[in-house]
Amino acid sequence: MIKGIDVSDYQGIIDWDKVKKDEISFAILRCGIGDDIVSQDDALFERNYKECKKVNMPIGVYLYSYAESTEQAKSEAEHVIRLIKNKTIEYPIFYDLEDENTTGKCSNKAIAEIAKTFFDLVKKENYEVGTYANKDWFETKLTEKIFNEYPKWVASYGENNGKIPDDKYEYNKKYMIWQYTSMGKVNGIKGNVDENIKTEDEENTKPEDKKVDVIYQTYTNGRWQPNVKNTEDYAGVFGMTATGVYANLSKGDIIYKVHLKGGKWLPEVKNRSDYAGILGKPIDGLMMKSSNGKVKYRVHLLKEKWLPWVTGYSEKDSNNGYAGILGKEIDAIQIKIE
């Protein structure tokens, strides 16, 4: 059983070290509510994110929706994207659909169109998406096909006494996470907190959930280029030197560092805690390793060709320890996880 919590600024200042030691394995953080307005950001989202990372707590994110149109859904997606940009999120970005006075008054088809707008925009930023709602909404309002295409986080409290029910959760559709109480008690949190269980049942896990994606980008021509996922494209601009690299995995950690042309190997970085490189200084070598699967990577030499894929991580191994030929600038990279 994988136990987690979800929190917002309602819980106040949390001692995440105590939370982690209380057998909590993941946390889903509220980033805000509604439209992309700064005053609607969750006041403690940034703190909760940073503190979770300090104790290696895997996280997801949710936004409470008030959308009644696809235009509002677009603004809500932009709200999330602004707050999660360059952050490492291990669980999905959940769209919280439960407000009876706004979204709840829309038709089922209209709600599906609202959700699709939100999902499509967030997915473009290479984050996983999912839906949060209570059991009744999933059975009566979120009935369109799209809601079976992404992970479900389902709320159903039963007696709501803070205890995990003995009976298997009765919701008869596939789900990723079950929120079973709003009356939980966890060390490090004052007052009540929602508690959740992530299913370990293979029947309730999408095959895609097992896949690990790598998302990455380069700094080229004075700006960060668009993110790329796996080998759907390459990161960089042919003919223009790359001077920085950013990367993260959908699950787990990626460690990497670069070599400066005419210089040395720079310190390694982890995920998007920082970028690798010195902006404006050409890169001629790249090294990568992963905690989740074997990473394969290759580089394209400026105005030349792609070099072979490599899998190692060693400054001393020019064949398979790093990608690149020292002295020759790199203009593009590709990465995949196997």
Q: Indicate whether 223 and 195 sit together in one domain.
A: no
Show the tokens assigned to 108. Answer: 């089922």
Residues 202 and 98 in one domain: yes
CA distance 26 to 196: 9
Q: What is the pLDDT of residues 28-87, one digit of tens each?
A: 999 999 999 999 999 999 999 999 999 999 999 999 999 999 999 999 999 999 999 989
Asked if residue 333 and residue 291 are part of one domain, the reply reads yes
Q: Are residues 200 and 222 in the same domain?
A: no
**What pLDDT does residue 69 have?**
98
Q: How confident is the model at residue 207 (pLDDT cuts 50, 70, 90)?
A: very low
Last-in-domain residue among 177, 208, 239: 208
More confident residue, 2 or 267: 267
List Cβ neighbours of 55 (8 Å cut-off, separation of 6 or more). Answer: 16, 17, 19, 20
Question: Mean of the pLDDT values across residues 256-265?
Answer: 96
CA-based angle 136:141:146, to the nearest 5? 115
> According to the model, what pLDDT value does residue 205 have?
45
Residue 148 dihedral angles phi and psi, to the nearest 5°: -95, 0
Query: Pick from 89, 91, 86, 103: which is nearest to 34 by CA?
Result: 103
Burial 4-13 (b: 16+ CB within 10 A, else e): bbbbbeebee
Residue 169 has pLDDT above 70, yes or no: no
| Amino acid occupying residue 173 | K
Over 80: is that where the pLDDT of 293 sits? no
Same domain as 293, residue 145: no
Angle 80-86-91 (CA atoms, 0-180°, nearest 5)? Answer: 65
Same domain, 172 and 187: yes
Residue 163 sits in the same domain as residue 231: no
Mean of the per-residue pLDDT values of the chain: 91
Helix extents (H) in the chain: 16-21, 45-54, 70-84, 108-123, 135-140
Spell out the long-range contacts of 45-50 with Cβ–Cβ below 8 A and sequence spacing 24 or more: 45/9, 45/83, 47/13, 48/7, 48/14, 48/16, 49/87
For residue 166, what pLDDT is reported?
63
pLDDT of residue 244: 96
| Residue 107 confidence (pLDDT) above 60 | yes
Statement to judge: residues 87 and 163 lie in one domain: yes
pLDDT higher than threshold 80 for residue 204: no
pLDDT of residue 208: 46
Cα 250 to Cα 89: distance, rounded to the nearest angstrom: 7
| CA-to-CA separations, 186 to 111, 180, 200, in angstroms, rounded | 34, 14, 22
Q: Are residues 25 and 8 in the same domain?
A: yes
Please check the confidence at residue 175 and state whether its pLDDT lies above 80.
yes
Residue 260 three-state SS: strand
- Looking at the predicted structure, is the pLDDT value of residue 335 above 90? yes
Percent of the chain with pLDDT strictly greater than 90 = 78
Transcribe 94-150 into DSSP letters: EEE---TTTGGGS-HHHHHHHHHHHHHHHHTTT--EEEEEEHHHHHHT--SGGGGSS
Residues 111-167: tens digit of each pLDDT: 999 999 999 999 988 899 999 999 999 989 999 999 999 999 999 887 787 777 765
Number of domains in the chain: 2
Which of 169, 188, 208 lies at the terminal end of a domain, its last residue? Answer: 208
- Does residue 93 sit in the same domain as residue 242? no
pLDDT computed for residue 12 by the predictor: 97
Greater confidence (182 vs 205) lies with: 182
CATH of the domain at 197: 3.20.20.80
- Tens of pLDDT along 18-29? 999 999 999 999
Examine the fold and report which residue of 181, 208, 235 is the final residue of a domain before the chain moves on.
208
Q: Are residues 184 and 246 in the same domain?
A: no
Provide mean pLDDT across the span 314-337.
94
State the DSSP code for 14: -
Q: Which domain holds residue 271?
A: 214-337
Residue with the two structure tokens 């959908």:
250
Average pLDDT over residues 324-332: 96
- Tell me the mean pLDDT in the region 200-225: 72
Rounded distance between C-alpha atoms, residue 91 and residue 37, angstroms: 24
Query: Rounded to whole angstroms, how far apart are CA atoms 317 and 163?
Result: 54
At residue 250, the pLDDT reads: 84
Residues 218 and 186 in one domain: no
Does 185 score more than 80 pLDDT?
A: yes
